[in-house]
Copies of this chain bind each other. A is one copy, B any other.
Amino acid sequence: MAGKHSGKPPEEDRAELVEAEAADRFNQARSARASALLEDYTELIADLLQEHGEARITDIARCLGVTHPTATKAVARLKREGLAVSRPYRGVFLTEEGAEMADRVRARHRLVVELLIAVGVPEEAAEMDAEGIEHYVSETTLAAFERYLKDKR
């Protein structure tokens, strides 16, 4: 039941399992990487909308440190995925789905920063690293972070 061929030595079965699990982890990470961009954009757009009432392509591009055509392309993808809407020469807005994603992402981001700080990471580094880390934190891990922070307070 553990392996494909009962004739094979158990060590091989175990090795195959380990490899399959590894492949799984990498695939997971790859898929997280794929959504990272969308998450960054929705989060930023939500911030801009809240702070300035609008999210212009130029502002988005400047905040993300990319050129404006790059931002335009990304926003096109957001629209394709049903996360944002926009009309030519007007700002970008989030759909309900996009806003929900932004909320989730912002909450997660805050939690990651808080946890890093709680374990002794300097605030500046925490902010820096969280930008990359946040996209790979699962719900399970997030829940653990929350418990840890609550207990610590």
* Chain A residues close to B by CB (< 8 Å): 19, 22-29, 32-33, 36, 40, 44, 59, 62-66, 115-116, 119-122, 125-129, 131-133, 135-138, 140-141, 144-145, 147-148
Query: Which residues from B are CB-within-8-Å of A27?
Result: 65
Are A132 and B63 touching (Cβ within 8 A)?
Answer: no
Interface of A (DSSP majority class): helix
The answer to whether A129 and B116 have CB atoms under 8 Å apart is: no
Instruction: Identify which of B120, B128, B144 contacts A144 (C-beta below 8 A).
Output: B120
Chain B residues with CB under 8 A of A33: 33, 36, 132
**Contact between A25 and B120, CB atoms less than 8 A apart:** no
Can you list the 8 inter-chain pairs with the closest CB atoms, starting with the nearest?
A: A132-B136, A23-B65, A29-B132, A125-B140, A121-B144, A25-B131, A120-B144, A119-B148
**Residues on the B chain within 8 Å of A63, using CB:** 19, 22-23, 26
